[in-house]
Amino acid sequence: MKLLVIGSGGREHALVWKLAQSPRVRQMWCAPGNAGIAEERLAKDQSLVECIAIGAEELPRLLAFAREKQADLTVVGPDNPLALGIVDLFQENRLRIWGPNQKAAQFEASKVFSQNFMEKYGIPTAKGDSFDDLETARAFVWKLNGECAIKADGLAMGKGVLLTETIADAEVALHQLMVERKFGDAGKRIVVQELLRGTEISLHALCDGRRFKLFPASQDHKRSHDDDEGLNTGGMGAYSPAPFLDDRQLAQVGQQLLDAWLRGCEAEGIDFRGILYPGVMLTKDGPKVLEFNARFGDPETQVYLTRLENDLVELLEASVDGALDETKLKWTPMPSVCVVMSGGDYPSASSKGKPITGLDEAAKFPNVKVFHAGTALAGDQIVTNGGRILGVTALANDLRSARDAAYAAVERIHFDGVHFRRDIAAKALS
Ligand code: AMP
């Protein structure tokens, strides 16, 4: 089989690494990939994965490439190409592609769509409403006493959400989104929700249009600094399983949220084939959906795929073919922990061209995998090239050992301005 993977982050490195283990894959490209992806080899014949210089949003060029190379399956990592309709485009051209089509990707691309959908189909979520007018939005934040999550409607690299505790802060947030247009046109329409309190977990469900298979729970760490201080980021670390739900509770939560979601999809004619990733708050009134994403989480993918025992190619094919009833997900009971190493100014700015040392030493730890996110090659030297640079991921017999192994490997790696959180998985261990 010949595979094309789209994207360039830590999630895509994990996808490529796992897909490359399938004995069925004999050639793989990644567009555009990164320095770590370019070092991956296929299990079948040890040939290298090839990175090609086509951006994840260059749909016509991606289509031309997949056609020319006769890729048997294209796997889409990031949200933007999904929202732009890459799946529809490939399908119109009779090319096989994994991911939700444009209509289904709206769950992530439009917070207004998701909020309305959740209300219509009785999916527990935060009380909220959507607005395109500043004055009515202001009246609503006053009603919530300023304790709000204020969200730009469109995609904003996971950063278009402002959390506020006071009316003054909420007014500033509304101004930033709707008047200053901090996130551009994504702020034309906004959703304002009540601020939910509790423990946040990530759920992932592989869907085939008619049914879903739920993954174990995981937990991301969204804020840039320890103790959940600092700015909201794409994610600074993750681990799985998250111990806040046992298997029975997880299945219950999955049913409570996802059965209603699936009924809604059927009623609306939405054919969702891909990963549905709901962010969920476990509140004192039960689990509530904060948002839906329509792709794998980053860095959740890194911890899931190090634990997954199935052939990922087979799972993605079953998802595309509507054949998930025949598959059973298999996970190692060993927990996995991923610590993200970023540039010091992330998420405000990215790091470029700083040499990264110690990668070889880190790779010598057993059961540790260093996934690259923002890296590039400058001659023979691997250098920084983004906000999040690496995701150091370790698997061990228990969570504490996995966390210790990940941090031991992190300590071997260095680049100028390196930053990472020191409390990944701490909530589960305390
Ligand atoms: P979203 O992109 O909607 O997931 O929001 C990003 C992050 O903001 C989430 O992962 C939560 O940590 C936080 N968040 C979003 N909505 C709410 C809410 N209603 N209450 C509390 N926190 C929220």
pLDDT tens per residue across span 270-317: 999 999 999 999 999 999 999 999 999 999 999 999 999 999 999 999
User: What does the angle CA 81 – CA 28 – CA 73 come to, to the nearest 5 degrees?
Assistant: 55
Q: Which atom of ligand 1 is nearest to the CA of 151?
A: 3
pLDDT tens per residue across span 179-216: 998 888 877 889 999 999 999 999 999 999 999 999 99
Residues 6+ apart with CB under 8 A from 427: 199, 219
| Whole-structure pTM value | 0.96
DSSP assigned state of 324 = G
CA of 88 to the centre of ligand 1 (A): 29
Residues in contact with ligand 1 by the CB-under-6-Å rule are 126, 149, 151, 158, 161, 163, 193, 195-196, 200, 222, 232, 279, 290-291
pLDDT tens per residue across span 229-262: 998 899 999 999 999 998 899 999 999 999 999 9
Q: Is the pLDDT of residue 15 over 90?
A: yes
Q: Which bin fits 139, alpha (ψ -120 to 50), beta or left (φ > 0)?
A: alpha
Q: Whose CA is nearest to atom 1 of ligand 1?
A: 291
pLDDT tens per residue across span 142-185: 999 999 999 988 776 656 789 999 999 999 999 999 999 888 88
Q: Which atom of ligand 1 is nearest to the CA of 194?
A: 19
Q: Do residues 21 and 45 make contact, with C-beta atoms less than 8 angstroms apart? A: no
Nearest to 304 by CA among 406, 395, 422, 221: 395
Three-state SS sequence of 260-291: HHHHHHHHHCCCCEEEEEEEEEEECCEEEEEE
**Is 156 exposed, middle or buried, given 0-12, 13-18 or 19+ CB atoms closer than 10 A?**
middle
Reported as type and span, the H/E element at residue 172 is helix 167-174
Q: Do residues 128 and 153 make contact, with C-beta atoms less than 8 angstroms apart? A: no
**Is 70 exposed, middle or buried, given 0-12, 13-18 or 19+ CB atoms closer than 10 A?**
exposed
Residue for token digits 């006053």?
Answer: 142
CA of 290 to the centre of ligand 1 (A): 6
- How is residue 80 written in tokens? 């933007």
